[in-house]
Structures are given as C-alpha cells and as structure tokens.
C-alpha cells in the first residue's frame, strides 16, 4: 500500500524533515501547508489565485460537501477537482470532525454515526465504508479514515474507548479501499472508484491528552499500515503544551518513511514547533478566517488592520512581502476596505495570510535543507508576538 513519499533532508538538531509526496494530481513538497477549501472553495480566493500563491495542495471538507451541494451534484459535475476547477492535489477529511463539531443529535455506534446536518437538519448516516465511498466519489488524492475526535477536556475512559473505536473504523476504511482498489483493477467499478485506487489513505491517531493512549493509538494505526499518519484531536481547545505533548507521545511510533499530518493547526510558531517535532503536513482555517476579521499574519506577529493606527499608514501589510496585496496596496487602504465591509479588503488580507503561511513552509524547507532549521525556528518563535487573541480550529 506504500506510495511515493521520499525524504530529501533531515535536520540534525530537531526531528524536522523535508520530503516530497507524489499524488495523482501532482507533487507536494513537505513541510506543506494546505489551504482549507471547506465548501469547494478556499474562502475568498479563486483557484487561479491559489496557483499564483504556489499552493501545492488544498483540503476539502467531506461533511460540508456531503451536506451541500451533495454527492450527486459533485459526481455529475465531474468530481471535486472539476467541480471547483482545481487540478492540483486535494486531501479530503473523513467528515468525522465536522459531524462531531457541527452536526446535531449524533448517535455513535460501532457501525457508524447517525446525525442531523446543521443546514436543513436532514438525517444521515456515515459509516467507515460510506466515508470512503464519499471520498472516492469526490476524487480525493489523499483520503482520511473516519475517526471520532473527542473534545477537550475528556475523561480517560472515554478517550480510550473512542481511540479503540477509531482503530476499528480505520481497519474497515483500509479494507474498503483494498477491496475496491482490487475491484477497480479488474475494471468493474465506476471511474471515481477507479481513480480512487491511485489515491493514498491516511490513518488518524487519537487518544486525547493521554500519553499512553496516544502511543497505543499510533501503534495500532501503524500495525494496520497506512500511506501516511495524521494526528487528530489536537487544537481542540487544549493548552499549547498539551498539544505538543500529544504530538510528542505519538510521533516516535510513526514510521519515518511515511508523511505525518498534524490536523487543524495552528499559528505560525506552532507550525514550526510541529515541524521540529517531525510533522510534515498542516491545514488551518486561521489565515482565511482571521483575514475576514481584518487580522493579518506577519513574520513578527499578527496585525489587526481595523485599528485606527493604520488609517494613514502608507506601508504594505508587511515590508518586503512578495504577495500581490503587499505589492500594490497600503495598510491604510486595506483598513478602509475592512471598515467599509468591502469584499476586496478580506480578499487582500486572505491572499497575504495564505502567502505568509505558504512562504513559511517554503522557508522551513530551505532551512532544513541548509541545516539551519533549528536556529531559524528559535529566532522566529522568539520574534513572534500574537497581538490579538486567536482561537485555532
């Protein structure tokens, strides 16, 4: 089941790695940041802008797309890549996280999870097999197993039972994919499943904030054997040291030759800390979500462009930034746009923020190659000031 992941460089002072992951829709250089395209669109930006930002992969949310516009529409319009006119790689989550955070009246059994969606309250049922079918229909390049993501805080016993359920579900996802990959090779299933045979499947480590559960979950996933490993259930409200500990508890048990994906985080310093702890892939809504509120990310911290101090500011969001917003527009103008609720304002900050995250990954890769990543990380983290309260998620 192993696919094309290649390690190109490793940092000698930390666990940072620089690698390359090949998918059906193109190559991804790791560490990588995946802009989040929740509903078939990375909020505020076009596919052309994503290409100009050099985004190599984006994320699609299975739950959202399943609820609206629904699978029939996306299948009819040629799968998620064609639907949204993005021909690069797409990673899809399994829908689990959103079922547990957005949907109502959930009923979890070993079989799967029944829920009412948050849009029109319609009932639906998703099992591990159905989660795979949906991701196959979407045409995902990197699919995720169905998992249960426990909240923070969470009792030990519940976290333990939940991690075991996630393992059983992961096994069924893996089997579905093997079975349907084989069928596809014999040429009897539809084109979405056939393409899906070329995709890769990641297991997800759960276990809350408990070291032994994280270790056991990692070991169980590795025993099943996946193309890559995600660490889920982080950045769900726990203190940052708990988040780091969850990663540190699981990482030593993950094979070095497979990509590791730390799900749903974080701030720029957190990303560098995660890279130092051996993580390769990230997704986070912060750059797009905070942009809509007027907050810009810079290499020295966040700026709330709504603040009056920026009204007359002739500088770009960030000096020497190569993004299209910084090349052409002043803070004063962007502040005006945000205050006046003009769409262009959030578009420009979104472009800058995505550039900032993607550029940080590119910088991290270069520093790892050069053997200077650890110095870079320490200097960056020391310089960085979070000037406004930020909640990741």
46 binds a second copy (CB under 8 A): yes
Helix (H) or strand (E) holding 369: helix 343-370
195 binds a second copy (CB under 8 A): no
312 binds a second copy (CB under 8 A): yes
293 contacts 350 by C-beta, under 8 angstroms: no
Residue of 332, 359, 363, 372 interacting with a second copy (CB under 8 A): 332
Count of alpha carbons within 13 angstroms of residue 89, beta-carbon side: 22
100 contacts 152 by C-beta, under 8 angstroms: no
Q: How far is the CB of 75 from a second copy (least distance, A)?
A: 10
Rounded (5°) CA angle 195-198-200: 120
Residue of 336, 363, 378, 387 interacting with a second copy (CB under 8 A): 336
Rounded distance, CA 360 to CA 92, Å?
A: 23
Where does this chain touch a second copy (CB under 8 A) — which range of 4-12, 201-209, 212-220, 341-349? 341-349
Where does this chain touch a second copy (CB under 8 A) — which range of 43-51, 170-178, 253-261, 358-366? 43-51
Residue of 63, 115, 329, 384 interacting with a second copy (CB under 8 A): 329
Neighbours of 155 (CB within 10 A): 11
Question: What does the block give as tokens for 292?
Answer: 């809509």
The alpha-helical segments, DSSP class H, found in 197-318 are 211-224, 240-250, 268-276, 286-292
287 binds a second copy (CB under 8 A): no
Q: Is the peptide bond before 96 cis (omega within 30 degrees of 0)?
A: no
Rounded distance, CA 226 to CA 223, Å?
A: 9
Active-site residue, selected from the candidate residues 93, 141, 147, 227 = 93
Q: Is 110 annotated as catalytic?
A: no
Q: Is 283 annotated as catalytic?
A: yes
Question: What does the block give as tokens for 285?
Answer: 């809504």
381 contacts 269 by C-beta, under 8 angstroms: yes
Which residue, 262, 321, 273, 317, is CA-closest to 295? 317
Q: How far is the CB of 45 from a second copy (least distance, A)?
A: 7
Identity of the residue, 198 or 328, whose beta carbon is nearer to a second copy in the bound complex = 328
84 binds a second copy (CB under 8 A): yes
Identity of the residue, 77 or 379, whose beta carbon is nearer to a second copy in the bound complex = 77
Active-site residue, selected from the candidate residues 141, 227, 280, 283 = 283
63 binds a second copy (CB under 8 A): no
Residue of 99, 337, 349, 364 interacting with a second copy (CB under 8 A): 337
Residues with active-site annotation: 93, 283
Interacting residues with a second copy (CB under 8 A): 39-41, 43-48, 68-69, 72-73, 76-77, 83-85, 311-312, 314, 324, 328-330, 332-333, 335-337, 339-340, 342-348
């Amino acid at each position: 089941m192993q696919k094309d992941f290649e390690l190109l460089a490793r940092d000698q002072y930390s666990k940072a790695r620089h690698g390359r992951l090949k998918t059906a829709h193109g190559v991804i250089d790791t560490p990588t940041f995946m802009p989040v395209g929740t509903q078939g669109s990375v909020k505020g930006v076009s596919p052309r802008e994503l290409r100009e930002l050099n985004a190599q992969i984006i994320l699609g949310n299975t739950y959202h797309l399943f609820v609206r516009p629904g699978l029939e529409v996306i299948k009819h319009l040629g799968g998620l890549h064609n639907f949204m006119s993005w021909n690069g790689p797409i990673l899809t989550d399994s829908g689990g996280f959103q079922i547990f955070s957005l949907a109502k009246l959930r009923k979890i059994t070993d079989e799967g999870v029944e829920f009412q969606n948050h849009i029109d309250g319609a009932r639906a049922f998703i099992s591990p097999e159905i989660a795979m079918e949906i991701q196959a229909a979407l045409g995902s390049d990197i699919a995720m197993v169905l998992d249960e993501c426990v909240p923070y805080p969470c009792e030990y016993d519940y976290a333990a039972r939940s991690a075991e359920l996630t393992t059983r579900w992961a096994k069924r996802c893996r089997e579905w994919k093997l079975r349907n990959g084989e069928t596809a090779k014999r040429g009897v299933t539809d084109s979405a499943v056939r393409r899906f045979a070329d995709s890769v499947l990641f297991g997800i480590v759960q276990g809350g904030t408990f070291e032994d559960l994280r270790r056991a979950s990692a070991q169980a996933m590795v025993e099943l054997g996946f193309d890559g490993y995600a660490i889920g259930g982080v950045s769900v409200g726990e203190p940052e040291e708990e988040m780091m500990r969850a990663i540190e508890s699981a990482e030593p048990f993950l094979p070095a030759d497979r990509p590791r994906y730390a799900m749903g985080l974080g701030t720029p310093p957190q990303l560098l800390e995660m890279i130092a702890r051996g993580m390769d892939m990230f997704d986070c809504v912060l750059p797009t979500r905070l942009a809509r509120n007027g907050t810009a990310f810079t290499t020295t911290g966040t700026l709330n462009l709504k603040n009056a101090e920026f009204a007359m500011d002739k500088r770009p969001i960030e000096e020497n930034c190569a993004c299209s917003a910084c090349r052409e527009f002043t803070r004063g103008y962007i502040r005006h746009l945000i205050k006046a609720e003009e769409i262009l304002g959030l578009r420009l900050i979104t472009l800058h923020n995505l550039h900032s995250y993607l550029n940080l990954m590119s910088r991290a890769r270069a520093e790892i190659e050069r053997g200077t990543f650890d110095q870079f990380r320490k200097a960056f983290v020391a310089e960085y000031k979070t000037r406004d309260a930020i909640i990741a998620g």
